[in-house]
Structure 1
Amino acid sequence: MPLEILTIPCLSDNYAFLAHDPNSGETALVDAPEAKPILNALAERGWKLSQVLLTHHHWDHVDALAEILQTHPAKVVGAAADAHRLPPLDVQLNEGESVTVGGEPGVVIDVSGHTVGHIAFHFPDSHAVFTADSLMALGCGRLFEGTPAQMWESLSKLAALPADTIVYSGHEYTQANGRFAETIEPDNPDLQARIADIVEKRAAGQPTVPSSLALELATNPFLRAAEPGIQHSMGMDGADPAAVFAEIRARKDSF
């Protein structure tokens, strides 16, 4: 049975996620931006937290951990490469190593770029990947530490996952990302349809996260740097996709 995954809005625009295994009763939290909504969600469902999976060290992904652990003493899992900046870890993992929630194994993917040591958690049986601030809905994280080439490599790993994978990313930035995406690929009908859907969802107070990888591949300019149409519109026909990605990221930074 696949994991039951709950999206929890936190702070002004963050998301945390609870991944619950109905068979074992085990529950994992992915990132800890704000304690109250997470604790409320656990209490409402009667779920007991078994582990916390941390994607990277930024404060808006870890600050609530200590408060959550006071009432839910769970195992804390994170990247070995980021352990010196993360809260104390019970388990340190590298790319390709596994983490298990209940009976379902997941695999760690190094998605450095936004930060160095950022990881994603892929659970193939549940068709889910938790990407935080690497691949985001219609966007990608700003490059605070990594290089464009590093982030392009990370996004390429995620793009290679099965298209029916659901992407659980860390922020509600999708509407603003859509406005930028239009400047890169204004004639993309899939993008136009997605933007209309986003406007409708946000007007109704609904989240735009998670999203499907298939939709990201069809509309997210940061995944589409190899597309001839995008390269042509940017005056970069035949360029290395990593260089095209770098230009898209630079334009987004000044948008």
Structure 2
Amino acid sequence: MHWVPVAALSDNYIWLVADDEGNAFVVDPGEAAPVEAALAKRGWRLTAILLTHHHNDHIGGVFDLVREHDVEVIAPLDTRIPYKTQIVDDGDTVTLDAPRASFKVIGVPGHTRTHIAYAGEGFLFCGDTLFSVGCGRLFEGTPEQMLASLDRFADLPADTLVCCAHEYTAANIRFALSVDPDNPDLRRRSDEVARLRAEGQPSVPSRLADEYASNPFLRVDSDAVARWVGAQGNHHASRVERFAALRQAKDTFTA
């Protein structure tokens, strides 16, 4: 498979994936024009659209793409998502014919109540649930829901490519270092991201194993996060309380 993160809007990535014959699907097209440009540049043909949730920066380009390409649109059940031709839910399998690919649908409520992710073929298309060294804000869900959603990624292969939807990594790292400053994996990730961004390159995708080594939202059971939460005054926090403390602190972090 050939893949490219297509930059869109202010900091979004739209994931475009194709086979050797140039048959391509797109994930979360918030804009149509960058997708059309990427397709034309590579001579690829769009065959399907996969959507993770209803926010406009993930679906804003669907109408124009469907009008131009007459492709299927695969999405969760949510009346706020128009133009869908196939509704999928947790536990379903999405099978594409061209490119030939199969993805497990994982229900991941938290950022929104109907958010889903697609896992397969070495990819995790996770929308705004998991970011590199971070996670999504809780607009419609609870800390319990989001933590349970993130926990569901633990069984995926360590070399899975985490294809998130925003260029938030550098800001996420600044927060993570305030929580876990002695983590050598996080320090290495910080250096790597600084180099990539200085070169004008995306910081994603990351490997799932690297996220488990450096992402505080995946490390709520670590001694480092427990110490950090204890320093905030809660020395006997549950793992959900630790996650909630992290998310609340990130929401107001400005350094």
TM-score scaled to structure 2, two decimals?
Answer: 0.93
Asked if 1:14 corresponds to 2:12, the answer is: yes
Q: Which residue of 1 aligns with 2:248?
A: 250
Give secondary structure in 2 for the equivalent of 1:234: helix
What does the per-residue CA deviation read over 1:131-187, in whole Å, with 9 as the maximum and x for residues that have no partner?
110011110011000000000000000133111111000000101001000111011
2:155 and 2:171 mapped to 1: Cα distance? 25
1:239 and 1:69 mapped to 2: Cα distance? 48
AA at the equivalent of 2:159 = D
Q: Which segment drifts farther, 191-200 or 134-143?
A: 191-200
What does the per-residue CA deviation read over 1:95-114, in whole Å, with 9 as the maximum and x for residues that have no partner?
11011233221110011100
1:248 and 1:160 mapped to 2: Cα distance? 23
Unaligned runs of 5+ in 1: none
Q: Which residue of 2 aligns with 1:54?
A: 51
Q: Which residue of 2 aligns with 1:65?
A: 62
2:111 and 2:160 mapped to 1: Cα distance? 21
TM-score scaled to structure 1, two decimals?
Answer: 0.93
Shift of 1:5: 1.7
1:110 aligned residue (104, 107, 112): 107
Asked if 1:172 corresponds to 2:157, the answer is: no
Q: What does 1:1-255 align with in structure 2 at a 5 Å threshold?
A: 3-22=1-20, 25-80=22-77, 82=78, 84-101=79-96, 102-123=99-120, 126-235=121-230, 236=234, 239-255=237-253
Give secondary structure in 1 for the equivalent of 2:237: coil
2:215 and 2:100 mapped to 1: Cα distance? 33
Unaligned runs of 5+ in 2: none
Q: What RMSD in Å do the two structures reach over aligned CA positions?
A: 1.3
C-alpha contact (below 8 Å) 2:62/2:83 kept by paired residues: no
Shift of 1:213: 0.3
What does the per-residue CA deviation read over 1:172-215, in whole Å, with 9 as the maximum and x for residues that have no partner?
01010010001110111111111111111111111001100011
1:248 and 1:219 mapped to 2: Cα distance? 14
1:159 and 1:134 mapped to 2: Cα distance? 14
C-alpha contact (below 8 Å) 1:31/1:62 kept by paired residues: yes
Q: Which segment drifts farther, 9-18 or 62-71?
A: 62-71
AA at the equivalent of 2:107 = D
Shift of 1:238: 5.7
AA at the equivalent of 2:246 = I
% same residue: 44
What does the per-residue CA deviation read over 1:53-93, in whole Å, with 9 as the maximum and x for residues that have no partner?
0110001001111112222111001002x2x1101210000
